[in-house]
Homo-oligomer: A and B are copies of this chain.
């Protein structure tokens, strides 16, 4: 998830046409979407403990026809935050890196921006100066890099970047940095009849560009921060949609249950998050009848991933803030806090299995 000051991800896309433009996608890069498994063996990267048990208990209660909490298959909905819950968000959201990386192409197309801030600073490559850009500057960069093109062009650009760009620490493409244990939870739930949705503060079109290949989640099951598009015609009469700089849904905090209602129209049975941006989604999920599963990923593994957040007495990094208040609410309401350090045998799919 993303904190308020980064949740301006105005972008969208059409998957089919975008994918058609991308013959270079490698099979190893996009490895998700595996066959559903229906036994607890599916959670192979989880250590035995209360978190794994909570998942197993929830699935048993909702899928056993003899259970008083049985949920018909067509009503089974699970929602997952993305950044910090399904993949690495630290020290900076991947989509923000994407936008910064796109600035040279934007300036090439509109050279007068070369000497205009904040583009000038981004082009300088001065990391310290870039890190100090204001929210207002960041918004200008997001608007310039995420809007003004057709949805097909946007998807093609995003996919090219996701295939080629590499994270600074692991030197791997960003889609490699999804959490293997969470992928297993998604597959396990799908294997038990749940529709899995991504509900992200990130840009809806950005995440839809890779959701099927990376998570096995089709584009229509991605709810994200979304901007308007505008229908128009090329000179030859062919219709197309242009991404507009107009925000329709800020899918963060209270915007998450609001976005869930807009896009899904019913209350999830299970929700997964990792920060204050997910609080309202988990509260909304928890307010329904029957069996409920609310889980929060705690980033407490400085060695294998990162450790951050006020709930651990660590500095608030403004990325994926997990406050003490959220931690207290989780304990009070019996939500499950997942310790990356203790509950996960491995973090990434590319690691050796423990």
Per a CB cutoff under 8 Å, which of B16, B228, B258 touches A267?
B16
| Given A238-B287, A239-B257, A239-B287, A265 and B14 contact (CB-CB distance below 8 Å) | yes
Complex: chain B residue closest to A285, CB-CB: B239
Q: Are B257 and A241 in contact (CB under 8 A)?
A: yes
Per a CB cutoff under 8 Å, which of B12, B17, B264 touches A288?
B17
A208 beta carbon closer than 8 Å to chain B: yes
Docked complex Cα distance between A262 and B75 (Å):
23
For A263, the chain B residues whose CB sits under 8 A away are: 220, 263
Which of A75, A239, A264, A288 has the most chain B CB atoms inside 10 A of its CB? A239
A184 beta carbon closer than 8 Å to chain B: no
A300 beta carbon closer than 8 Å to chain B: no
Per a CB cutoff under 8 Å, which of B241, B255, B289 touches A261?
B241
For A205, the chain B residues whose CB sits under 8 A away are: 265
Docked complex Cα distance between A258 and B14 (Å):
11
Q: Are B208 and A265 in contact (CB under 8 A)?
A: yes
Q: Are B14 and A219 in contact (CB under 8 A)?
A: no
Q: How does the 8 Å CB contact mask read for A114-157 relative to B, with 1 for contact and 0 for none?
A: 00000000000000000000000000000000000001000000
Q: What are 25 A-B interface contacts by the 8 Å CB criterion?
A: A12-B261, A12-B265, A13-B265, A15-B265, A15-B266, A16-B75, A16-B266, A16-B267, A16-B288, A74-B212, A74-B218, A195-B220, A204-B262, A219-B264, A219-B265, A220-B265, A228-B258, A229-B258, A229-B261, A231-B258, A239-B284, A239-B287, A241-B257, A248-B248, A263-B263
| A-B interface, 4 closest residue pairs, ranked by CB to CB distance from nearest | A219-B265, A231-B254, A220-B264, A239-B283
Instruction: Given contacts A20-B289, A226-B262, A240-B287, list 15 more A-B pairs with CB under 8 A.
Output: A12-B262, A12-B265, A17-B289, A74-B212, A74-B218, A205-B265, A220-B263, A220-B264, A220-B265, A220-B266, A239-B257, A239-B284, A241-B257, A241-B261, A248-B262
